[in-house]
Amino acid sequence: MHNCNNYYGFIKYKILFILFTAIFFITNNLVLASNINNESKSKEINSAIPLDFTSIVEKVDSSVVNIRTITKTNKETNLLYNDPYEMFRWFFGPNFPNNIPIPDNQYIQPQQEEKSIPKGLGSGFFISNDGYILTNNHVIVDANEILVTLYDGREFKATVVGSDDRTDIALIKINIKKSNPLKIGNSNILKKGQWVLAIGSPFGLDFTVTAGIVSAIGRDTGDYLSFIQTDVAVNPGNSGGPLLNLNGEVVGINSQIISRNGGFMGISLSIPIDEAMRVADQIRKTGKVVRGKIGVQVSEISKEVAEAIELPRFGGALVSFVERGSPADQVGIQPGDVILTFNNLEIKKLSDLPRLVGQTNPGVSANIDIWRRGKLISFIVKVGEIKSDTVSKKEIHKKTINSNKPSNIILGLELEELSYELKAKLKINGGVYIENVSGVSLKAGLHKGDIITVINNTYITSVDHFNSVLEKINNIKKPIGLLVYRGDNAQWIIINPYK
């Protein structure tokens, strides 16, 4: 009996040993399988993160170009005044630094000397195999000469096909047998968090590549366009260069940065390529950009106003002004109406309306839903055409200034007519734009870009009118008072060229 008990005890311990051994191996294998599975997932995630962009960059490098611009100006030379900023102007432009006073005892009547001054640096990229290049308007505006450098070092003079100030798009062309265009992507399918690359010439460092992610889509800055926001490093000189996805397709044009010091601070803005190509195609085909208009000015709606007028949803665009005789006026849209939809598309924020209307072809009949005194009212509006602010190559060549006019001889001013859009923006009926400034006007503090609306007590309507009034003042040798707009501020500047 004792032996039997020992036998059963042995069997029991053996069974327990086998069970514990089996549990150990099963548990160990489960942990191992779990670790392998996690490692596999980790590798899968890491493989999705592009640690090396070499293949993408090698594919697109030859499609990107460096752009240098040169402007010719009548530079004033003065034998008694040694300008210590001359060297700096070659790097920072002809207006560096602003508001430097010229000592009276060192100033004499200057001599005119035409000089070519480097104006700026930018980037661009080929969109066709016959030399068409897309860039920013602000890169090439006012340039007398545009030089394009390719990745292989070849340099070409470019001509302006056309440009559009509203979207900051310019189309230029070089004479080349074959160019390597970038593939055009779809900016509408971009998502936050996707990787993107930028190629350009920041601070003149040609063909620099930077990478980052899409931070936001449809970023509204108050401009005509909404932008793609990224954290890709973009600096002066990157303007006009491509924003690329991981397929090597261009999805945007690097255009702006938001910065407190002029350098990169983590917020870059790019023009969506869909809008850029729409503009470029129109410029290439017709030399101008056609946009729709309905003839209203709109403003933002506050939550308090939305609640007070019992809007069915927060959003829309509040009509503040209706142009007389415009499409909106003809169908009965009134100030105080809130436009909720245009052509069956919802107006979520103020900037949606001008963008949607602008993208609509003139002549199209569009549905508009408005909210008026607690009721939803629908209109059908025949879209009109907005006056184009596109500048074609032909118009640029016509843009010449007669240096024999009194404004130039007496005051040293080169003047241009004001655009309708600028008059509307400043809420003025007339005035002239200062294109260049020298002599007594420079000494008095006038700047290029200033707008003169009044000379002495006379409101100015055009350049010819300004010169006519100036001739009369010149006959009696009176001091000349100019009411000048600089940005949103107006000030009087007195000039006495007869001292």
Q: What is the CATH number of the domain that holds 434?
A: 2.30.42.60
Q: Do 245 and 306 reside in the same domain of the chain? A: no
The answer to whether 237 is annotated as binding is yes
What pTM, to 2 d.p., does this model score?
0.61
The answer to whether 168 is annotated as binding is yes
Token couple for 148: 């394009």
Residue 249 lies in a domain: yes
Q: Do 118 and 230 reside in the same domain of the chain? A: yes
The structural domain count of the chain equals: 4
Q: Comparing 17-26, 275-284, 372-381, 402-411, which segment has the lowest mean pLDDT? A: 17-26
The answer to whether 239 is annotated as binding is yes
Q: Do 117 and 96 reside in the same domain of the chain? A: yes
Beta bridge partners of 480: 495
In whole angstroms, what is the distance from residue 83 CA to residue 87 CA?
9
The answer to whether 238 is annotated as binding is yes
| Residue range 111-138: mean pLDDT, rounded | 80
Query: Does residue 447 carry a catalytic annotation?
Result: no
Residue 391 lies in a domain: no
In whole angstroms, what is the distance from residue 322 CA to residue 376 CA?
19
In whole angstroms, what is the distance from residue 27 CA to residue 52 CA?
39
Residues 6+ apart with CB under 8 A from 468: none
pLDDT surpassing 80 at residue 91: no
Q: Which of 239, 255, 268, 441 is catalytic?
A: 239
Q: Do 376 and 447 reside in the same domain of the chain? A: no
Domain ends where: 330, 355, 385? 385
407 or 10, which is more confident? 407
Residue 393 lies in a domain: no
Interstrand relation of 390-392 and 155-164 (parallel, antiparallel or unpaired): antiparallel
Query: Does residue 226 carry a catalytic annotation?
Result: no
Which residue range forms the structural domain that includes residue 33? Answer: 1-49
Query: Does residue 326 carry a catalytic annotation?
Result: no
Q: Do 205 and 250 reside in the same domain of the chain? A: yes
Q: Which of 63, 163, 164, 168 is catalytic?
A: 168
Residue 394 lies in a domain: no
Q: Which of 61, 62, 83, 138 is catalytic?
A: 138
Q: Do 268 and 317 reside in the same domain of the chain? A: no
Which pLDDT value is given to residue 45? 34
pLDDT surpassing 80 at residue 114: no
Q: Do 36 and 57 reside in the same domain of the chain? A: no
Residue 248 lies in a domain: yes
Measuring CA to CA, how many Å separate 103 from each of 19, 46, 130, 443, 449?
102, 65, 53, 10, 24
Which pLDDT value is given to residue 28? 54
Q: Do 205 and 313 reside in the same domain of the chain? A: no
CATH label of the domain that carries residue 310: 2.30.42.10
Q: Do 225 and 84 reside in the same domain of the chain? A: yes
